[in-house]
Structure 1
Amino acid sequence: MCENKKYIIFCTCNEQELKSILNLEIESFKIFDNKEEYNKQIYYWKLEKTVRELTFEEKRRIMGQIIRPSEKLDQDLTAEFVMEALNNNAGFDFDYNPEDGDELLIGVSYKYPQIGNHYRPLLPQPMTFVYENKEWYFGYIDHFRYKQIELKKGNIKLRKSI
């Protein structure tokens, strides 16, 4: 009997590819009349490493509030699905050995920027996952307490296997 399973691939992009993905304003105007294309969404990811605790002075300059991560971006991309994939050697397209304090952010955005006041539905907050004690878990690193550096970022491809 065949099983219909989903799997996830974390694809890195070079700067040129990311710019072409994020700066699509001209194309937004070209496809505006095609509502399906104008509302097309893409998944993205960003991997960060925790490098140190912030100093007292650095903490004093921070303003804002912590926004809790979403547990689900849509019916295909849930925290449970991502955790299972990450803890079973998810497909990064580069050599990567997670270390304690690594954080993976996964979000969804519109492929094309918004045109003027032609609003679209709000998208959910990103999901975040933290690597600790040889395991990924759903959670977040306190950015008001720890300094992080970006390791890699890119887009996500979901595939189905039969």
Structure 2
Amino acid sequence: MCENKKYIIFCTCNEQELNSILNLEIESFKIFDNKEEYNKQIYYWKLEKTVRELTFEEKRRIMGQIIRPSEKLDQDLTAEFVMEALNNNAEFDFDYNPEDGDELLIGVSYKYPQVGNHYRPLLPQPMTFVYENKEWYFGYIDHFRYKQVELKKGSITFRKSI
């Protein structure tokens, strides 16, 4: 189902692979000498649903700061590209009908965890999109105000033009 027939597809096929951190840590040591493989990046997504406003007590316990989403993850995967795809021809590999308050996070990470102090370049913050009034827009849900639950997550495949 994750064959990319359209321009962008959100796959859950690799969800188990994304969750096997221990296996990836072991692999990091095995492939460390292969710099191209060690620096390999993967695109991931997470879909969340807003379920309710946080109570006063829940809000009081939150610490941190809001980090605004990036407008692009690389030269090809931009907020504009994703928004156009989401509102026109993107597909999920599961039955999904967006509802107001749904939030889609798209990020990039290294496939393998860092080995010791062998640092790699920093990657951009994820992009986030919110579904409201029958369309997706670039933005974010205030996590200091609303409770969200994860619906699905997985990997992304995309083609560079719509």
Query: Is TM (by shorter chain) over 0.5?
Result: yes
CA distance in 2, matches of 1:10, 1:155: 6
Deviation at 1:16, TM superposition (A): 3.2
Asked if structure 1 preserves the Cα contact closer than 8 Å seen for 2:86 and 2:136, the reply is yes
Deviation at 1:20, TM superposition (A): 3.1
Question: C-alpha offsets along residues 12-56 of structure 1, whole Å, 9 cap, x if unaligned?
Answer: 146533323674011111111111110000000000000000000
- SS of the counterpart of 1:24? helix
70-79 vs 16-25, which moves further: 16-25
Evaluate the alpha carbon distance shift between residue 138 and residue 23 of structure 1 in structure 2; reply closer, same or farther with a 3 A threshold.
Answer: farther
CA distance in 1, matches of 2:145, 2:64: 13
67-76 vs 13-22, which moves further: 13-22
Residue identity over aligned pairs, in percent, reads 96
Asked if structure 2 preserves the Cα contact closer than 8 Å seen for 1:5 and 1:161, the reply is no
Asked if structure 1 preserves the Cα contact closer than 8 Å seen for 2:14 and 2:155, the reply is no
Asked if structure 1 preserves the Cα contact closer than 8 Å seen for 2:130 and 2:138, the reply is yes
CA distance in 2, matches of 1:148, 1:39: 32
Using the size of structure 2 for normalisation, the TM-score is 0.91
Gaps of 5+ in 1: none
56-65 vs 24-33, which moves further: 24-33
Evaluate the alpha carbon distance shift between residue 3 and residue 57 of structure 1 in structure 2; reply closer, same or farther with a 3 A threshold.
Answer: closer
Using the size of structure 1 for normalisation, the TM-score is 0.91
Evaluate the alpha carbon distance shift between residue 14 and residue 124 of structure 1 in structure 2; reply closer, same or farther with a 3 A threshold.
Answer: closer
Deviation at 1:89, TM superposition (A): 3.6
83-92 vs 124-133, which moves further: 83-92
Gaps of 5+ in 2: none
- Which structure: greater strand fraction? 1
